[in-house]
Amino acid sequence: MSEAVREVNGNLVVSLTGEIDLDRAPEARRLLLDCVKRSKDVLVDLSAVTYIDSSGIASLVEALQWAKQRGTDLCLVAVSPQALRVFELARLDKVFAIHPDLDAALAGEN
Amino acid sequence: MSEAVREVNGNLVVSLTGEIDLDRAPEARRLLLDCVKRSKDVLVDLSAVTYIDSSGIASLVEALQWAKQRGTDLCLVAVSPQALRVFELARLDKVFAIHPDLDAALAGEN
Amino acid sequence: MKIAAITTPEAEYLLELRFPARTDRMAMVRDLVRSAARFCGFDEAGTHDIVLAVGEACQNVILHAYEGRGDGPILLDILQNADSIILRVTDFGPAVAPTAVQPRALRDLRPGGLGTYFIQNLMDTTDFGRSPSGVGNVLQMSKKKDPSK
Amino acid sequence: MKIAAITTPEAEYLLELRFPARTDRMAMVRDLVRSAARFCGFDEAGTHDIVLAVGEACQNVILHAYEGRGDGPILLDILQNADSIILRVTDFGPAVAPTAVQPRALRDLRPGGLGTYFIQNLMDTTDFGRSPSGVGNVLQMSKKKDPSK
Ligand SMILES: Nc1ncnc2c1ncn2[C@@H]1O[C@H](COP(=O)(O)OP(=O)(O)O)[C@@H](O)[C@H]1O
Ligand SMILES: Nc1ncnc2c1ncn2[C@@H]1O[C@H](COP(=O)(O)OP(=O)(O)O)[C@@H](O)[C@H]1O
């Protein structure tokens, strides 16, 4: 998944893909925390996430907490309908900043 | 499936769709035989067939036999790769006339 | 979670799946559940919710009933009646008091504790108890085919 | 079809599915097999062929073992080892002589008789026999993960 991270205007854009379940959440968690450790703002692209469950959500919550502790931002971009449903269920759609696309997210950062 | 039949240049074009298995083959068979009974040439569009098994193939073979008995044509059009694989397996790809698309089939009719 | 004597509902058996409690099996299990929910006439949103609920239930078995030992079996029964789809997840781990299976209070920034909460919010009924045979814990869930009813 | 004592191969159990011998269940069964074949690393062409072989095997059970009675159970075991996927279709109908399960001669314009022929041509091994427990007929099929081997 390392090719899933690219730098745009000094931010890190991470793309998660496919089904983020208990099997794949550890890999997503590692990827997200590695990005947060680089002390840049992190934009997580969820457009290609076809399924996410509580374990995937937990990885994102943990990454958000780490980012807050470091004083950096972590926000969600282009959240697929399936993923948005789960964030809403968990009432986390107000906890994470969610942007419709990358341009909106980058504008929001300034 | 009755909206699946339309008339083009005096031929009947029948479109089969989805998975033609033991469950749905009787419905496909009825549709095909009804077309053959109308004593026109029949073009069977298989572009939207995602799965076909021996029971689906059997319906097409039966329709072809009926057509031959009446002296009309029955040919296959735009056969999906999944369906083509099964016709090849059954060595029926040389028994049925198979046309890449409707235009080719209509040209071939003349 | 509601304490219940789990009984076999009067319903038509669609399928019964048995698989080891391993995380790498879950994508296949979800594909089957997705297919069954569509068979029962659920739309994409309803199908997603059923798949998620079953995924969370199996996750709980993997994490809690078998504590990550990947060799314990999970049984998934899928049934329907005129109104609902019914899904039953059975594990063969030690008996669990149904009162121990509780969603934690939803706090904003805490990972975990979401599974049971999701299940209860996604499905119309959820019951946790011992299986009728006395072996294993059963989580039985159902969802109405037409949510407007 | 080759006469064989059906033994459990040394392989890892992926999933075990049980369902009534009804034609309307087959689309769900195929979705599971498709998912399992992909899990074992098969490409789209290999996956299609495995799904078709299992579909034909179940069709034979529905038509011949249970003669259209939709209440008999079908058991589908899916296993893998390093080389192959292994699929086992068990019915609980009357004992069938393996020699009775034969593809008919392929004649061009005759419907039927294709199922067994397909199975033998789609899979690398096919064995028909009584189940090890003595109850039921088993069709065991395997397909190599890399057909170039
Ligand atoms: N199948 C099960 N077997 C044993 N305990 C369970 C089972 N399912 C749930 N539990 C208990 O219910 C609690 C709440 O589960 P859940 O809401 O999914 O959160 P989490 O899995 O993150 O702890 C678990 O911590 C566990 O103690
Ligand atoms: N599971 C089964 N139980 C009993 N008989 C079977 C079974 N599978 C196959 N057979 C026998 O093998 C024959 C060949 O099967 P097949 O090639 O699929 O053609 P068809 O199903 O069109 O007859 C069948 O006609 C039947 O007599």
- CB neighbours of residue B49 within 10 Å: 23
Query: Does residue D4 lie in a domain region?
Result: no
Domain positions in chain B:
2-107
Number of domains chain D is built from: 1
Q: What is the pLDDT of residue D112?
A: 57
Take atom 10 of ligand 1 and give the residue whose Cα is closest.
C101
> How many angstroms is it from C48 CA to the middle of ligand 1?
21
C-alpha distances out from residue B73 to A46, B2, B25, B43, Å: 52, 20, 21, 8
**Does B54 touch chain D if contact means CB atoms closer than 8 Å?**
yes
pLDDT above 50: residue C24: yes
Q: Give B30 to chain D, closest Cα distance, Å.
A: 15
CATH number of the domain at D66, please.
3.30.565.10
Beta bridge partners of C13: C79
Query: Does residue D7 lie in a domain region?
Result: no
Query: Does residue D149 lie in a domain region?
Result: no
Contacts of B58 in chain D (CB under 8 A): 111-112, 114
Take atom 12 of ligand 2 and give the residue whose Cα is closest.
D101
**Calpha distance C89→C54 (Å, rounded):** 8
Q: What percent of chain D has pLDDT over 70?
A: 86
**Among residues D134, D144, D141, D145, which one has the least CA distance to residue D120?**
D141
Query: Does residue C4 lie in a domain region?
Result: no
pLDDT above 70: residue D109: no
Q: Looking at chain A, which residue has its C-alpha nearest residue C116?
A: A54
List subunits contacting chain A, requiring 3 or more Cβ pairs under 8 Å. Answer: C
Domain carrying residue D31:
12-144
**With contact defined as beta carbons under 8 Å apart, do D31 and C32 qualify?**
yes
Q: Give D38 to chain C, closest Cα distance, Å.
A: 9
User: Element (H or E) spanning B15, and its range?
Assistant: strand B11-20
Q: Looking at chain D, which residue has its C-alpha nearest residue C14?
A: D19
pLDDT tens, C91-136? 998 888 877 877 765 554 555 578 999 999 999 999 998 877 778 8
- State the pairing for strand pair C125-130/C84-91: unpaired
Query: Does residue D88 lie in a domain region?
Result: yes
Q: Mean pLDDT highest for which of B14-18, C62-66, C70-74, D128-132?
A: B14-18
Q: What is the pLDDT of residue D96?
A: 84
Q: What percent of chain C has pLDDT over 90?
A: 66
Q: What is the pLDDT of residue A83?
A: 98
For range B81-89, the mean pLDDT: 97
Structure tokens belonging to residue A81: 């309908």
**Calpha distance D65→D95 (Å, rounded):** 9
pLDDT tens, A58-80? 999 999 999 999 999 999 999 99
> How many angstroms is it from C78 CA to the middle of ligand 1?
22
Q: Where are the beta strands (DSSP E) in chain C?
A: 12-20, 73-80, 84-91, 125-130, 137-144
pLDDT tens, D49-108? 999 999 999 999 999 999 878 789 999 999 999 999 999 999 998 888 877 877 765 554
Q: How many helices (H) and strands (E) does chain D have?
A: 3, 5
Fold assignment, A2-107: Transcription Regulator spoIIAA (3.30.750)
For range B47-69, the mean pLDDT: 96
The residue among A52 and B109 whose pLDDT is bigger is A52
Q: C 65-124 residues with CB below 8 A of A?
A: 106, 108-112, 114-115, 117-118, 121-122
Take atom 19 of ligand 2 and give the residue whose Cα is closest.
D113
pLDDT above 70: residue B85: yes
Which residues 6+ apart lie within 8 Å of A30 measured at CB? none
Query: Residue B27's pLDDT band (boundaries 50, 70, 90)?
Result: very high
Rg (CA), chain A: 12
Backbone angles phi, psi at B107, to 5 degrees: -60, -40
Computed over every residue of chain C, the mean pLDDT equals 87
> How many angstroms is it from B29 CA to the middle of ligand 2?
21
Query: Does residue C98 lie in a domain region?
Result: yes
> How many angstroms is it from C101 CA to the middle of ligand 1?
5
pLDDT tens, C4-15? 556 666 899 999
**Calpha distance A85→B32 (Å, rounded):** 43
Q: What is the pLDDT of residue B108?
A: 75
**Calpha distance A106→A99 (Å, rounded):** 9
Contacts of B28 in chain D (CB under 8 A): none
Q: Supply the ipTM of this predicted assembly.
A: 0.92
**Does C23 touch chain D if contact means CB atoms closer than 8 Å?**
no
Query: Does residue C6 lie in a domain region?
Result: no
Take atom 25 of ligand 2 and give the residue whose Cα is closest.
D113
Q: What is the pLDDT of residue D94?
A: 87
List subunits contacting chain C, requiring 3 or more Cβ pairs under 8 Å. Answer: A, D
For the CA of C103, the closest atom of ligand 1 is 17
Query: Residue B2's pLDDT band (boundaries 50, 70, 90)?
Result: very low
Residues in chain A, pLDDT under 70: 1-3, 109-110
User: Element (H or E) spanning D91, and its range?
Assistant: strand D84-91
Taking the C-alpha atoms of D44, D48, D51 and D54 in order, what is their torsion angle to the nearest 10 degrees?
Answer: -140
Helix boundaries (H) for chain B: 25-37, 54-70, 81-89, 102-109
C-alpha B76, offset from chain centre: 5
**Does D36 touch chain C if contact means CB atoms closer than 8 Å?**
yes
